[in-house]
């Protein structure tokens, strides 16, 4: 299982990498790839069926910025969960469970870190405020890539070993891609 593949794509100079979480993000990624005249694009899709996320029109517009607030809290966030692709649904489920515990949680979908990194400092700060140091990135890939987004006080629910062979749901639990593990990771911060 090539857990390093996404990092390889994302760090390849002059390559824009997209990992959408649903059909809406896929359509935006496809449009951006077709319209790009400065760099080639890689679109990385999940094999399993993924739930459609609910968004406002403003959020749909922000997908093209590479990273955006998919679900926000009512007050200043104390925790930011960020994810891409199939792990976005896990981030939303985890945020809902943490919110039920009284936490203020923001979910950030990052379909293209390359595009997000090219945004203005003000936009990036509006999505990932520096004052919120409790951050957890969730991705079924190598953990090291996410250090620049979670910082020294954050954590990554990801992989540092190669995959295994088993049914998908068994592997997700084995590698910690569960709501319980995300909550435990948040609690450890």
Please tell me whether the overall predicted TM-score, pTM, comes out greater than 0.85 for this model. yes
Mean pLDDT confidence for 53-77: 97
pLDDT digits (tens, 9 = 90+) for 136-152: 999 988 889 999 999 99
Q: What is the pLDDT of residues 3-18, one digit of tens each?
A: 789 999 999 999 999 9
**Given this model, what pLDDT does residue 1 score?**
59
- State how far the Cα of 23 lies from the Cα of 36, in Å rounded to an integer: 20
Q: What is the dihedral of CA 53, 64, 59, 138, to 10 degrees?
A: 50
CA angle 4, 117, 38 (to 5 degrees): 90
* pLDDT(87) > 80: yes
Helix locations, 3-146, DSSP H: 5-10, 23-35, 57-63, 87-100, 113-117, 121-127
């Amino acid at each position: 299982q090539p857990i390093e593949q996404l990092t390889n794509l994302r760090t390849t100079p002059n390559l824009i990498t997209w990992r959408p979480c649903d059909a809406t993000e896929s359509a935006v990624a496809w449009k951006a790839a077709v319209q790009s005249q400065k760099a080639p694009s890689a679109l990385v899709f999940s094999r399993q069926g993924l739930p459609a996320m609910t968004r406002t029109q403003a959020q749909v517009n922000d997908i093209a910025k590479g990273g955006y607030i998919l679900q926000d809290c009512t007050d200043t966030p104390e925790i930011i969960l960020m994810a891409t692709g199939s792990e976005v649904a896990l981030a939303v489920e985890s945020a809902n469970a943490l919110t039920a515990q009284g936490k203020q949680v923001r979910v950030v979908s990052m379909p293209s870190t390359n595009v997000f990194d090219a945004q203005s400092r003000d936009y990036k700060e509006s999505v990932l405020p520096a004052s919120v140091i409790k951050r957890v990135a969730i991705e079924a890939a190598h953990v090291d890539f996410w250090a620049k987004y979670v910082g020294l006080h954050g954590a990554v629910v990801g992989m540092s070993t190669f995959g295994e062979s088993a049914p998908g749901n068994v592997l997700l639990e084995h590698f910690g891609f569960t709501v319980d593990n995300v909550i435990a990771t948040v609690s450890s911060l």
